[in-house]
Amino acid sequence: MTVPLDVRNDIRSMDAGGTPRAEIARRLHLSRNTVAKYADMEDLSPEPPLPEERPHPALEKHAAWVDAVLEADLGAPRKQRHTAKRLFDRLVDERGYEGSYSTVQRHVREWKLARAAGAGDGYLELEWAPGTAQADYGNFEAVVAGEGLRLKLLVVCLPHSNARYAVAGMSQRAECMCSGLASVFAWVGRAPRELVLDNATEAGRRVRGEVTESQLFSLFRAHYRMGSRYCNPYSGNEKGSVENAVGFIRRNLLVPVPRVGSVAELNALLREGCERLNASSRARDGRPTAEALREDLAAMLALPSAPFDAVRWVRCRADKRGYVTVDGREYCAGPAWHSRELLVGVRADTVEVLADRGRRVALLPRAFGDGPAVRNPLSLVPALVARPRAFGESVIRRDMPDGLVRAVDSLDAAGRRRVLRAIERASGPSGFGAACEAALEVIEGGRLPDDATVDVLARRIASGALGEEGGADLAVYDGFLRGGEEHARR
Per-residue pLDDT tens over the stretch 117-143: 555 454 444 567 899 999 999 999 999
**pLDDT score recorded for residue 489:** 47
**pLDDT score recorded for residue 110:** 87
**pLDDT score recorded for residue 487:** 42
Confidence of residue 490 (pLDDT cuts 50, 70, 90): very low
Per-residue pLDDT tens over the stretch 383-400: 788 888 888 888 788 888
Q: What pTM, to 2 d.p., does this model score?
A: 0.64
Q: Which fold does the domain 132-299 belong to in CATH?
A: Nucleotidyltransferase; domain 5 (3.30.420)
**pLDDT score recorded for residue 212:** 80
Per-residue pLDDT tens over the stretch 152-203: 999 999 999 999 999 999 999 999 999 999 999 999 999 999 999 875 567 7
**pLDDT score recorded for residue 100:** 92
Confidence of residue 238 (pLDDT cuts 50, 70, 90): low
Mean pLDDT of 275-304: 93
Of 356 and 127, which is predicted with more confidence? 356
pLDDT at 218 over 70: yes
Mean pLDDT of 245-261: 91
Per-residue pLDDT tens over the stretch 30-40: 999 998 988 88
Look at residues 255, 266, 274, 269 and name the one whose alpha carbon lies nearest to residue 147: 266
Mean pLDDT of 448-466: 86
pLDDT at 377 over 70: yes
**pLDDT score recorded for residue 478:** 52
**pLDDT score recorded for residue 94:** 92
**pLDDT score recorded for residue 375:** 83
pLDDT over 90 percentage in the chain: 48
Confidence of residue 488 (pLDDT cuts 50, 70, 90): very low
**pLDDT score recorded for residue 311:** 93
**pLDDT score recorded for residue 236:** 47
**pLDDT score recorded for residue 164:** 95
pLDDT at 234 over 80: no
Domain definitions of the chain by residue range? 5-39, 61-110, 132-299, 312-375, 380-489
Q: Are 166 and 272 in contact, with CB atoms under 8 Å apart?
A: no
**pLDDT score recorded for residue 237:** 46
pLDDT at 235 over 70: no
Three-state helix/strand/coil letters over the chain: CCCCHHHHHHHHHHHHCCCCHHHHHHHHCCCHHHHHHHHCCCCCCCCCCCCCCCCCHHHHCCHHHHHHHHHHHCCCCHHHCCCHHHHHHHHHHHHCCCCCHHHHHHHHHHHHHHHHCCCCCCCCCCCCCCCEEEEEEEEEEEEECCEEEEEEEEEEEECCCCEEEEEEECCCCHHHHHHHHHHHHHHHCCECCEEEEECCCCCEEEECCEEEECHHHHHHHHHHCCEEEEECCCCHHHHHHHHHHHHHHHHHHCCCCCEECCHHHHHHHHHHHHHHHHHHCECCCCCEHHHHHHHHHHHCECCCCCCCCCCEEEEEECCCCCEEEECCEEEECCHHHCCCEEEEEECCCEEEEEECCCEEEEEEECCCCCCCCECCHHHHHHHHHHCHHHHHHCHHHHHCCHHHHHHHHCCCHHHHHHHHHHHHHHHHHHCHHHHHHHHHHHHHCCCCCCHHHHHHHHHHHHHCHHHCCCCCCHHHHHHHHHHHHHHHHC
pLDDT over 70 percentage in the chain: 87
Confidence of residue 472 (pLDDT cuts 50, 70, 90): very low
Mean pLDDT of the chain: 85
